Amino acid sequence: MESIALQDIQQAAERLRGIAHVTPVQTSRQLDKASGASVFLKCENFQRVGAFKFRGAYHAISTLPPEQQGKPVVTISSGNHAQGVALACRLLGRKAHILAGGLTSQIKRQAVLDYGATIHDAADHLDAERKLPALMAELHGVYIHPFNDPWVIKGQGTVMLEFLSAVPDLDIVLAPVGGGGLLSGTCIAAHGIKPAVQVYACEPAGALDAMHSVRENRIIPMPHPQTLAEGLKTSLGDMTLPILRKHLAGFFVVPEDEIVPAMRFAFERLKLVVEPSAAVALAPLLRRESVLVGKRVGVILTGGNVDLSGFFEQLTG
């Protein structure tokens, strides 16, 4: 398998310049006080489509080889990757097809449709996987995997390039782990620039497959993950596992009952709208994990796509 280097991520950053946002880094006295650390928040909730996923999707689609130019792009996703692919295709003048199980959020559906993509509904993720071959054959499409794709990983790695450019002296970086695409890019970028920085994966206890997979060095999927952090239910892939195994300093397991309080801290104290998956990377700070105390800790706030319709209905109601 091709190995990804810092230079690949730097090239991805060139390609994304002026297209993806260079998201701001924020700090908070209240968070520093609560955690005992100096915390820096890389706000990918402010990224286009509301999540870092746009970076990888755009990078992968924009670098497709010439023989795949013009082919429709297909992906399986009911989450932020779907929006990332849809927007990237719109910007690149391509047709996007989103195969999705359980794309029930009206706002996410509408966003994908607004970008001009076609949604193919499936009963669930498994059903979507079953339907993929026929759809690919019908469309003569090119498939963009949400994370197990070197071009996606390179795109996601650009988050960390920007982060270390804004805050060069980070000791530790925290990011949530689902399929490991963001985290793989983060590890390669971080260690390419500053080998001493420690990268930790934050994983919800209800979807604790990545930690076991990395420890046993084989992909151990979790059959029925149960977590509010929808985006983190996926298992690692064969590209992300070896990268994480090589680079990670460790895992923080986040019990389910720490996710909503971390989200609430973000909304109420930081005034940031973050989704549950992003809150997972805040939680270890809020419980004052001892290895973080006194350190300069970077947190990747991965996204802000959360269904707020209930709240706004209450407000108008």
Q: Minimal CA–CA distance to 201: which of 243, 258, 152, 161? A: 243
Q: DSSP letter at 185? A: H
Contact residue for its own copies among 176, 192, 237, 304 (CB under 8 A): 304
Would you count residue 268 as binding its own copies (CB under 8 A)?
Answer: yes
Of the candidate spans 24-32, 91-99, 203-211, 241-249, the one that interacts with its own copies by CB under 8 A turns out to be: 24-32
Site membership for its own copies, residue 42 (CB under 8 A): no
| Number of residues lying near its own copies (CB under 8 A) | 29
What residues contact residue 297 under an 8 Å CB cut-off, 6+ apart? Answer: 35, 37, 38, 39, 40, 170, 171, 172, 173, 174, 285
Q: How many beta carbons lie within 10 A of that of residue 246, not counting itself? A: 12
Quote the least distance from Cβ 79 to its own copies, whole Å: 16
Of the candidate spans 23-31, 67-75, 128-136, 240-248, the one that interacts with its own copies by CB under 8 A turns out to be 23-31
Give me the catalytic one of 78, 184, 213, 235: 78
131 catalytic per annotation: no
Is the Cβ–Cβ distance between 103 and 76 less than 8 Å? no
Shortest distance, position 59 Cβ to its own copies, whole Å: 19
Distance of closest approach, residue 34 Cβ to its own copies, in angstroms:
12
- Concerning whether 53 is annotated as a catalytic residue, the answer is yes
Shortest distance, CB of residue 120 to its own copies, whole angstroms? 25
- Per CB under 8 A, does 249 bind its own copies? no
Token code pair at residue 89: 């295709």
Q: By CB under 8 A, is residue 262 in contact with its own copies?
A: no
Q: Residue 310 is encoded by which pair of tokens?
A: 């209930």
Beta carbons of 73 and 85 less than 8 angstroms apart = yes
Shortest Å distance, C-beta 266 to its own copies: 9
End-to-end CA separation in angstroms for the chain: 55
Residue 273 binds its own copies (CB under 8 A): yes
- Out of 53, 108, 154, 233, pick the active-site residue: 53
Residue type, 191: H
DSSP output for 56-102 = HHHHHHHT--GGGTTSPEEEE-SSHHHHHHHHHHHHHT--EEEEEE-
* Of the residues 10, 11, 26, 63, which one makes contact with its own copies according to CB under 8 A: 26
Selected binder of its own copies within 45, 75, 77, 158 (CB under 8 A): 45
With contact defined as beta carbons under 8 Å apart, do 256 and 228 qualify? Answer: yes
C-beta separation of 266 from 274 below 8 A: yes
Q: In angstroms, give the least distance from the CB of 115 to its own copies.
A: 12
Nearer to its own copies by Cβ, of 29 and 224: the residue is 29
Catalytic residue numbers read: 53, 78
Binding site for its own copies (CB under 8 A): 24, 26, 29, 43, 45-46, 48, 50, 107, 228, 260, 263-264, 267-274, 304, 308, 310-312, 314-316
